[in-house]
Amino acid sequence: MQVTFVAADNSAGDAQVLGDQAGRDVLVKKVIFGDPTDAKITHFYNKRVAPGHASGMGSVATTDLVVRIVQATAAAGKDWVREVDFTSGGKGGLQLDGGSFHTDDDDVTVIWEYADNDANS
């Protein structure tokens, strides 16, 4: 298993990459939000370096967007998401081609592994 932690908002710059190369699939197992806040957004992309990747969250084409997680607001009762488990129901995880993500939230941890389970090659 691999763990990638983003301590602060990266929505205006580079997406955080997962994996060591494009074309090598990763499986996102779990996302943990350490400090969820009203209306914060996290996007996962099906590309290690999606077009617009370095220009911020708003510049990445929606065709590369796989999952969008939006935290609830005060009006919705602040029922924040603390954890997203992509392995529930016996699934292997959220499969991405290299994969990357942007977030405007703080303290986001992504637990993932290579789809081929060979992190040493």
Contact (Cβ atoms closer than 8 angstroms) between residue 100 and residue 13: no
- Regarding beta strands 94-97 and 25-35, do their DSSP bridges make them parallel or antiparallel, or are they unpaired? antiparallel
Instruction: Indicate if the pLDDT at residue 4 is higher than 50.
Output: yes
Which of helix, strand or coil describes residue 53? helix
Helix (H) or strand (E) holding 33: strand 25-35
pLDDT per residue as tens digits for the range 58-100? 899 888 899 999 999 988 888 898 999 999 988 899 999 889 9
Domains and CATH numbers, the chain: 2-114 (2.60.120)
Q: What is the pLDDT of residue 118?
A: 54
Backbone phi, psi, residue 58, to 5°: -70, -10
Q: What is the pLDDT of residue 49?
A: 87
**Percent of the chain with pLDDT strictly greater than 70:** 97
> Sorting pLDDT into bands at 50, 70 and 90, what band is 119?
very low
